[in-house]
């Protein structure tokens, strides 16, 4: 399987996880608010301090983002481009967000694909402090209680990355058993989830959120992304019992690579290793 050497030594525990409770809901983000604050308010209105969300068409402006890029210093296996600030209103095709805490304040990690006002199609990593909701739009969210995504230094990748940590219950209304996960580098995305579900007796689950990167990509429709540095959003994901009697993951994703190449589709199981990180929430169905 493909792998990329990271600057730091791998830690023994390859999945960072916390069991929690959660609930799916939808809400409307209000125009004129920073995207971060609009998301925070939507979760807070349902009693949650953090969680994950997915969205389709949205209008953002002002808007700022970075794309994946090669590392100029060698301090990281890959890095970010300079910041892009397209004028006018940018209209998204899709996006996935993790909402958590960084340095004691709300923060998000959000990847997506979009079309800028001049017609340029692009994608990447949205910047929380420079992105504003231009028109109201709906999102599908999943709030978690008893766990928190917190940005902490990660010696393996030499980045400050979101990972789940235990948190006091806020008393929010929940309906489901859930696991907040962060998958570490150089392990197959689907295989890692399947092994986790086997270990925890999970036969069926839905994936909520899903923000991270893979080392290129191989799709079931035959498509291949060769450039190794990507920014990825999960658009749909499930775990079901396969014909073998073991859990099998179906992962639909969208990504942009460091050359600007865009790809969408279902990932081949067993051939899509994580590059830096993969954050998501598993809602247990059975």
200 shares a domain with 107: no
Q: What is the pLDDT of residue 251?
A: 98
Calpha distance 278→19 (Å, rounded)? 17
pLDDT, tens digit, for every residue of 231-260? 999 999 999 999 999 999 999 999 999 999
- Domains held by the chain: number: 2
* Structure tokens that stand for 262 in this block: 């865009």
> Quick one: pLDDT band at residue 15, thresholds 50, 70, 90?
very high
The span from the CA of 230 to the CA of 214, in Å, is 6
pLDDT at 250: 98
- Cα–chain-centroid distance for residue 46? 21
The CATH number of the domain holding residue 202 is 3.30.1330.80
pTM of the model: 0.97
pLDDT at 176: 98
Please give the DSSP secondary-structure letter assigned to residue 273: B
Q: Are residues 119 and 205 in the same domain?
A: no
The domain in which residue 280 lies consists of 177-284
CB–CB of 183/212 below 8 Å? yes
* pLDDT, position 233: 98
132 and 35 fall within a common domain:
yes
**Is the confidence at residue 193, as pLDDT, over 90?**
yes
Instruction: Check if the beta carbon of residue 130 is closer than 8 Å to that of residue 63.
Output: yes
């Amino acid at each position: 399987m493909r792998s990329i050497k990271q600057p730091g030594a791998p830690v023994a525990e390859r999945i960072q996880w916390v069991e929690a409770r959660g609930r799916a809901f939808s809400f409307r983000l209000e125009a004129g608010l920073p995207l971060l604050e609009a998301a925070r308010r939507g979760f807070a209105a349902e009693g949650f301090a953090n969680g994950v969300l997915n969205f389709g068409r949205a209008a953002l402006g002002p808007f700022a983002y970075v794309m994946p890029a090669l590392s100029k210093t060698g301090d990281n296996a890959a890095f970010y481009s300079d910041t892009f600030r397209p004028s006018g209103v940018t209209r998204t095709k899709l996006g996935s967000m993790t909402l958590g805490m960084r340095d004691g304040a709300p923060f998000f990690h959000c990847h997506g694909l979009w079309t800028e006002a001049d017609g340029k199609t692009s994608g990447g990593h949205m910047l929380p402090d420079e992105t504003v909701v231009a028109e109201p739009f709906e999102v599908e969210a999943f709030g978690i209680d008893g766990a928190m995504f917190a940005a902490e230094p990660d010696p393996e990748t030499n980045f400050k990355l979101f990972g789940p940590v235990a948190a006091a219950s806020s008393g929010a209304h929940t309906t489901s058993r859930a696991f907040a996960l962060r998958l570490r580098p150089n392990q197959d995305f689907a295989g890692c989830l399947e092994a986790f579900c086997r270990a925890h007796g999970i036969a069926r689950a839905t994936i909520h959120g899903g923000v991270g990167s893979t080392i290129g990509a191989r799709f079931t429709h035959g498509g291949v992304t060769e450039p190794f540095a990507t920014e990825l959003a999960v658009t749909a994901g499930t775990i079901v019992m396969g014909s073998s009697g073991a859990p099998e993951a179906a992962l639909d994703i969208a990504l942009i690579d460091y050359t600007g190449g865009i790809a969408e589709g279902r990932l081949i199981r067993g051939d899509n290793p994580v590059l830096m990180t993969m954050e998501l929430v598993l809602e247990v169905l059975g």
